[in-house]
Copies of this chain bind each other. A is one copy, B any other.
Amino acid sequence: MLNKNREKLQKVIEYEFGDPEILTTALTHKSYVAETIVMENCNERMEFLGDSILSAIVAETLYLRYPHESEGKLSLFKAQIVSAHNLSGWAREVDLGGCIYLGKSGYTEEARQRENLLCDTFEAIIGAIYLDGGFENAKKFILKFLNNREEIEITDYKSRLQEILQSIYKELPEYKIIKELGPDHNKKFEAAVYIKGKFLGKGTGNSKKEAQQFAAEQAMKNIKTE
């Protein structure tokens, strides 16, 4: 099943690997390596590489596409694009979850669709394309997702939420950092947003500001469905 899926994947992403072993490594989660003798390498190192390659390509795209935006605005745009939330969405678009070599504990459809797993594997795929086909092919791969939208849809959810809440409640939302996760060099924050003490939404990000943006995004969705 996995073999069929990986063939399909290469068709969907319009990139065929010259060296199939590189693709294999990119798709191999460490839980799989732990359970088997035939596999030696998991995709963590490739994820490290892909993360940086992605960052460079997104930075260039934003730099060229928004010639009048400040460095601060570009940084915020970039953080939203390379967030686990967004990348896992892109991974789902190409059914990446069904291609991952996972340890036995991971052989459930639910485990395959977890945000972090999808995001990490997506980054590993970028690293793999870079190693196999060079910078231009990695760029082509990423641009396919970035260009899917006429304009990259970057929304300043905090500002939007504030406008809405002010018009309804005549009050400003309140943000709290409710959790700090991960090691110091790779910290994640969880923020929650409230109005008049009532919980509206929460979100996780690489900085407090990013976490607040995602919390505001969730709050907007919750308000709409109310």
Contact = CB atoms under 8 A, between A and B. Distances in A.
A185 B71 contact: no
A183 interface: yes
A71 B56 contact: no
Specify which of A49, A52, A53, A55 lies most central, judged by the most chain B CB atoms within 10 Å of its CB.
Answer: A52
B71 A48 contact: yes
A208 B187 CA distance: 10
A210 interface: yes
Contact of A185 (B51, B63, B127, B209): B209
A176 to B, nearest CB: 14
- Copies of this chain, complex-wide, total 2
Nearest to A76: B185
Specify which of A51, A59, A75, A79 lies most central, judged by the most chain B CB atoms within 10 Å of its CB.
Answer: A59
Contacts of A71: 44-45, 47-48
A73 to B, nearest CB: 10
A48 B75 contact: yes
Given A71-B44, A74-B48, A135-B135, A185 B59 contact: no
Given A207-B187, A209-B184, A49 B45 contact: no
Interface in A12-62: 44-45, 47-49, 51-53, 55-56, 58-60
A69 B71 CA distance: 34
A75 to B, nearest CB: 6
Interface of A: 44-45, 47-49, 51-53, 55-56, 58-60, 63, 69-71, 74-76, 78-79, 127, 130, 135, 183-187, 206-210
24 contacts: A44-B71, A45-B69, A45-B70, A45-B74, A48-B59, A48-B71, A52-B52, A52-B58, A53-B56, A55-B56, A56-B56, A60-B130, A75-B185, A75-B186, A79-B185, A184-B207, A184-B208, A184-B209, A185-B206, A185-B207, A185-B209, A185-B210, A186-B207, A187-B207
